[in-house]
Amino acid sequence: MSPHDGELERLREEVAAWRAVYGKLPLREGVEFTSVSGRELEPAYSALDLEQTLGAPNELPGQYPFTRGIHPTMYRGRLWTMRQFAGFGTAEDTNRRYKFLLERGQTGLSVAFDFPTLMGYDSDHPRSEGEVGKCGVAIASLRDMEDLFAGIPLDRVSTSMTINGPAAILFCFYVAAAEKQGVDIRQLQGTVQNDILKEYMAQHAWIYPPEPALKIIVDMFEWAAEHTPKWNTISISGYHIREAGATAAQELAFTLANGFCYVEHGMARGLAVDAFAPRLSFFWDVHNDFFEEIAKMRAARRIWARHLKERYGAADDRSWKMRFHCQTAGVTLTAQQPMNNIVRVAYQALAAVLGGTQSLHTNALDETLALPTEESVRIALRTQQILAVETGVPNVADPLGGSYYVEALTDQMEREAEALFAEIDAQGGVVAAIESGWFQRQIARSAARFQGEVETDRRTIVGVNDFLEEERAAPDILRIGEEADRTQRARMARLRAERDDARVEQALTALRNAAVADRNVMPEMLDCARGYCTLYEIRDVLERVYGAYREPVFF
């Protein structure tokens, strides 16, 4: 044994003895010292906890595997994009909100669609009744998309669209709207979420069964690589997995596993991984456990880089770099004492920035009650702006790098994710684990554990089960009436009367033929959009070829 080994052993014994004493002392009554995800925490961390570090110990920002950030300068070179999620009522209603946000310093747009649009139904479909424009904007055709972005030059904004089952259709509406503006579509920048796998796991806004849905996603990879090379064709989303009740480690592992599944399907098509992987992006939830969230994002970058390089053979460093959007956790907002949500969101926003996000949405204080008002969304945007220009936080890349706790937690998150990858493989892979209900059961169990802790007062939610106050009147909230429904129905009737029916029929037939022949459907789908075919008409043609997904009974 060398003298160094003897010193290391002495330090281990000293740290173990310290933890044995101070880890057992009387602590604050009723407090469990675990993370939000249930992870046991040591009373303090030291350099010895970093012995098993999986990343590069002397790594700097911008260096593989990018634990400390994908850019050497991070926010010194460019701040994150401030992208507030917005959409309600008709396209004209939301267009006014977008202009309001852009005038107040927002730097990117993010479209929230209503339930009918998310499910691929036209506004005048019987299943849309009562939901048109209620929790997002109603978009049923190219005409709606044109009105949504009227007066907003699509070659000068970055747009994110949160939609999955009918994502390719909405993307085609967007591309066609850009063409109508005279924009070179090669200059379009933004993201369409398009992450169908997490829909089967957590959010349930699907249309087709998994394999045909994955086929359409790969069609987009292939088409966009040539025609819209600056557009992110997918935003692989942990957000909805976490909102459904997953732990941080589950969010990390399940989301990355989905990402690997998309990569494998793209490569199986014959696409070179470096032809599409640089345009894959991610979307993370930022929950209340401050350090756990930062560690999750640092671990995510490292895992993605290592797997893309070593497992999938990507040679372009753009394929290794995980770019991601963050949103503060909607599930943490409370209807009780809603002003407290401003504070929650500010801390979560800080965690996102310390974790190295490329864009950020901060929730408004009233979003647990309704869509946000202009006043509440202004406060949410100002929260980001204060963080960006007043706190000094963006002036140094990865300022928590080297923290014993953050580095140890980053390593631990990586190990937990790798263990979950092994479990997913044992289930037969992502699609098989979806079809057997394995993912859904894991998420449900975690959600039940957390809720049980809250209901038995083992976990405190301020204003909900402690620090209570007499209920006050709720703040003024945005109320969406039935006017959007009536307006949309009239618009749909006008559209159907004015468009070229022969062109519509021809375009839909061509789309059906492409799907039956197992060709890339994007060119024909875009022609449908250009010809003012409606959302449901396009959905219906493909559903008749591919079938509809029906979730099995798992429990």
Alpha-carbon separation of residue 165 from 169, 194, 207, 256, 438 (angstroms): 9, 7, 5, 20, 21
pLDDT for position 54: 46
Alpha-carbon separation of residue 246 from 202, 241, 447, 495 (angstroms): 9, 6, 6, 43
Pairing state between β 359-361 and 189-192: unpaired
pLDDT for position 83: 84
Average confidence (pLDDT) per 10 residues, the chain, 555 residues: 66 80 67 78 76 57 94 92 86 92 85 95 95 94 97 93 96 98 96 96 94 97 96 96 97 98 97 96 97 98 98 98 96 96 98 97 92 90 96 93 93 96 98 95 96 93 92 78 90 96 98 98 98 98 96 72
pLDDT for position 374: 87
pLDDT for position 46: 76
DSSP of 260-311: HHHHHHHHHTT--HHHHGGGEEEEEEE-S-HHHHHHHHHHHHHHHHHIIIII
444 neighbors 245 (Cβ within 8 angstroms) = yes
283 neighbors 325 (Cβ within 8 angstroms) = yes
Pairing state between β 280-286 and 324-328: parallel
pLDDT for position 28: 65
84 neighbors 136 (Cβ within 8 angstroms) = no
Pairing state between β 324-328 and 231-232: unpaired
What is the C-alpha separation between 141 and 122, in angstroms, rounded?
A: 8
SS3 assignment, position 326: strand
**65's tokens:** 């595997």
326 neighbors 357 (Cβ within 8 angstroms) = yes
pLDDT for position 105: 85
542 neighbors 208 (Cβ within 8 angstroms) = yes
pLDDT for position 47: 76
Hey, which residues does 89 pair with through a beta bridge? 137
Residue ranges with strand state E in 165-267: 189-192, 231-232, 234-237
309 neighbors 269 (Cβ within 8 angstroms) = no
pLDDT for position 551: 86
Read off the pTM.
Answer: 0.91
Coarse DSSP helix, strand, coil percentages of the chain, rounded to the nearest 5 percent: 55, 10, 40
Neighbours of 436 (CB within 10 A): 14
What is the C-alpha separation between 291 and 526, in angstroms, rounded?
A: 44
Domains in the chain, ordered, with CATH? 77-455 (3.20.20.240)
Q: Which secondary structure element, helix H or strand E, spans residue 160, and what is its range?
A: strand 158-162
8-state DSSP, 333: -
SS3 assignment, position 358: coil
The sign of the torsion formed by the CA atoms of 469, 470, 475, 480 equals: positive
* Cα R_g (the chain), whole angstroms: 24
Q: Which residues of 259-296 are buried (b: 16+ CB within 10 A; e: fewer)?
A: bbbbbbbbbeeebebbbbbbbbbbbbbbbbbbbbbbbb
Nearest-5° angle of CA 16, CA 20, CA 22?
115
Q: Which secondary structure element, helix H or strand E, spans residue 483, and what is its range?
A: helix 483-498
pLDDT for position 58: 65
Type of residue found at 259 = G
Pairing state between β 108-112 and 158-162: parallel
363 neighbors 332 (Cβ within 8 angstroms) = no
190 neighbors 159 (Cβ within 8 angstroms) = yes
Residue position matching structure tokens 């929730």: 363
pLDDT for position 56: 43
Cβ neighbors of 452 (< 8 A, separation 6 or more) are 458
pLDDT for position 370: 83
**277's tokens:** 């992987």
Length of the chain as a residue count: 555
**216's tokens:** 């359409």
